[in-house]
Amino acid sequence: MAQHDLDIARRATPRAIAELAREQLGVDTSALRPHGHHVAKLTLAGLGALAGRPDGRLILVSATSPTPAGEGKTTTAIGLADGLRRLGQRAVLALRQPSMGPVFGLKGGATGGGQAQLLPMEDINLHFTGDFHAVAQAHNLLAALIDNHLQHGNALDIDARRIHWRRVLDMNDRALRHVVTGLGGAAHGLPRESGFDITAASEVMAILCLAGSLPELKARLGRIVVADTRDGRPVTAAELKAHGAMAVLLKDALAPNLVQTLEHTPALLHGGPFGNIAHGCNSVMATRAALKLGDWAITEAGFGADLGAEKFVDIKCRAAGLRPSAAVLVTTVRALKMQGGVPREALAREDLPALQRGMANLARHLHILREVLGLPSVVAVNHFVADTEAELALLRQQVQALGAPFAVSRHWAEGGAGALELARAVVALCDGRAPAAPRFVHDAGATLWDKLRAIATRVYGAADVSASPQARQHIERLQAGGWGHLAVCVAKTPYSFSADPALLGAPGGHTLHVREARLSAGAGFVVMVCGDTLTMPGLPARPAAEGIDLDEDGRVVGLF
């Protein structure tokens, strides 16, 4: 009988987090703020004390294009870290926190699976240490202050039709995408159109992830552009005197969270997910801490290499000066067969021709990592029980023909022991090789439009880019207004290199169409929203929430 992830997690015996921090990381209890016995935050003072330690090697875990068959970046990252520890290496994970939207929606939890999981699984997937709530509260405080400013005279002359700042909620709720606020008469505010995004898409979340200190956090919050005046001048959070109070709400959330894997490998969980609508990386604070605390820092970026890895390099590494040593490209036989046209219900059957066709998707992602971003890469197959020896042999042959190291990882079934082949491949790839600066896709001095075109053509294989008249005019206004130095963060479907999720494999020659542009001045980028991408997801016909409950003993059931 198959074991559920929650059952496996409950049978584990986690170590006291203070003991684990002291013995494996050399971190004293004075540098921790405990959240129970098995979760703690590394204090900002404790992080400052790490400055004199040398940096370890940074490994990025990315993946081929996601499919319903599953790829498993987080699970593979956990397995790799456990495997490295079994080789006698000091490995520390630096991963993203789950959003409760997918937990109760379609995707489920984000703490790994099988024998490659994070503990405490229930806490992490639900409220955890309250970081997401702090982001939402800070974000929504700013929204409330905007409406309050309008109510009490509007001294800044804000144009109520040109308020860009929406509200957020850490839940999938399509009914909140477009709302009207301020109804009920003059005492209840000025009626205007607005809406909600999911918390992970908040600019405040991006700022939390990219800030390297409390002063930088506060400065970035102050630069948030919330609206335009009636004569077209941008209005910032600092002008509303909001950034100080927002920083107060976020001061504890800025500290990374320390947990552990089933095999007691330390893991820093910090910052939001969603590489399709945000920059999709964990925090700079957590990544830098992992580099100081271990010989190997294993991190991940959202969805495939086209979205997550590109933003990891062009936004996070550029902003923080990070130098990754290598990347791991995760795939599955099932996912590649799906890219080759096999329906989900037929994935358990051996199909070598479909696997061969699906290789085009892997080859494109490998090209992005190695040739575009300059990251030496290992291809890791996340093993499923239905994979046949013939399929694995064909995949190994194809990857080796592309000149890349290849490893089959059985971490889901065997934990770190099943990831030894992958761990050895990563060590061998990095041996004797000093980390070099990654290659950026676009020049920092290029225009916003040229940055977008560089990402579309060099990463997505597009022939060109286009935009709606309204989006093009907005991009031109941003460029003329002095925002051209910012990076570009593309929001598009993660399921295809194009903006059409139905175009599988490795489509090329298409035109990437931009629907709207959103300025995130505090985060340091402009979001280009492409295709039908939504920043507030909806729930599926049968949401995971329907199967989540408490048993008669008050224990959570149905959480995956």
Q: Does residue 302 belong to any structural domain of this protein?
A: yes
Q: Does residue 535 belong to any structural domain of this protein?
A: no
For residues 368 and 301, state if they share a domain.
Answer: yes
For residues 320 and 420, state if they share a domain.
Answer: yes
For residues 137 and 101, state if they share a domain.
Answer: no
Q: Does residue 442 belong to any structural domain of this protein?
A: no
Q: Does residue 557 belong to any structural domain of this protein?
A: no
For residues 419 and 462, state if they share a domain.
Answer: no
For residues 308 and 323, state if they share a domain.
Answer: yes
The whole-angstrom separation of Cα 498 and Cα 486 is 23
Q: Give the number of domains in the chain.
A: 3
For residues 229 and 184, state if they share a domain.
Answer: yes
Amino acid type, 97? Q
For residues 411 and 271, state if they share a domain.
Answer: yes
**Alpha helices for 87-196 (secondary structure H):** 100-104, 121-125, 131-151
Structure tokens at 31: 């540098």
The whole-angstrom separation of Cα 296 and Cα 56 is 5
The whole-angstrom separation of Cα 312 and Cα 279 is 7
Q: Does residue 540 belong to any structural domain of this protein?
A: no
Size of the chain in residues? 560
Residue (of 358, 416, 408) closest to 387 by Cα position: 408
Provide the CATH number for the domain around residue 208.
Answer: 3.30.1510.10
Q: Does residue 507 belong to any structural domain of this protein?
A: yes
The predicted structure's pLDDT at residue 1: 36
Domain that holds residue 282: 5-129+253-430
Provide the CATH number for the domain around residue 525.
Answer: 3.10.410.10
Do 226 and 240 touch, CB atoms closer than 8 A?
Answer: yes
For residues 273 and 394, state if they share a domain.
Answer: yes
Provide the CATH number for the domain around residue 93.
Answer: 3.40.50.300
**Alpha helices for 431-510 (secondary structure H):** 448-458, 469-478
Amino acid type, 287? T
Residue (of 117, 97, 102) closest to 66 by Cα position: 102
For residues 168 and 289, state if they share a domain.
Answer: no
Domain boundary among 201, 220, 250: 250
Tokens 């199967």 sit at which residue? 547
Q: What is the pTM of this model?
A: 0.95
Distances in Å between the alpha carbon of 439 and those of 46, 209, 296, 357, 434?
Answer: 32, 21, 21, 29, 15
Beta-bridge mates of residue 514: 467, 530
For residues 303 and 317, state if they share a domain.
Answer: yes
Do 129 and 102 touch, CB atoms closer than 8 A?
Answer: no
> Could you write out the DSSP letters of every residue in 203-261?
HHHHHHHH--SHHHHHHHHHT-EEEEETTS-EEETTTTT-HHHHHHHHTTTTSPEEEEE
The whole-angstrom separation of Cα 2 and Cα 114 is 10
Strand duo 377-382 + 406-409: pairing: parallel
Q: Does residue 319 belong to any structural domain of this protein?
A: yes
Q: Does residue 539 belong to any structural domain of this protein?
A: no
Amino acid type, 54? P
Do 175 and 195 touch, CB atoms closer than 8 A?
Answer: no
Q: What is the pLDDT along the chain (560 residues), one digit of tens a residue?
A: 346 888 898 889 999 999 999 999 999 999 999 999 999 999 999 999 999 999 999 999 999 999 887 789 999 999 999 999 999 999 999 999 999 988 898 777 789 999 999 999 999 999 999 999 999 999 999 999 999 999 999 999 999 999 999 999 999 999 999 999 999 999 999 999 999 999 999 999 999 999 999 999 999 999 999 999 999 999 999 999 999 999 999 999 999 999 999 999 999 999 986 778 788 899 999 999 999 999 999 999 988 999 999 999 999 999 999 999 999 999 999 999 999 999 999 999 999 999 999 999 999 999 999 999 999 999 999 999 999 999 999 999 999 999 999 999 999 999 999 999 999 999 999 998 888 889 999 999 999 999 999 999 999 999 999 999 999 999 999 999 999 999 999 999 999 999 999 999 999 999 999 999 999 999 999 999 999 988 999 999 999 899 999 988 888 888 87
| Residue 266 backbone zone (phi > 0: left; psi -120 to 50: alpha; other: beta) | beta
Which helix (H) or strand (E) segment holds residue 549: the answer is: strand 549-550
Distances in Å between the alpha carbon of 57 and those of 89, 271, 287, 296, 493?
Answer: 11, 21, 11, 5, 31
For residues 290 and 212, state if they share a domain.
Answer: no
Domain boundary among 191, 219, 250: 250
For residues 263 and 408, state if they share a domain.
Answer: yes
Strand duo 91-95 + 296-300: pairing: parallel
Do 418 and 378 touch, CB atoms closer than 8 A?
Answer: no
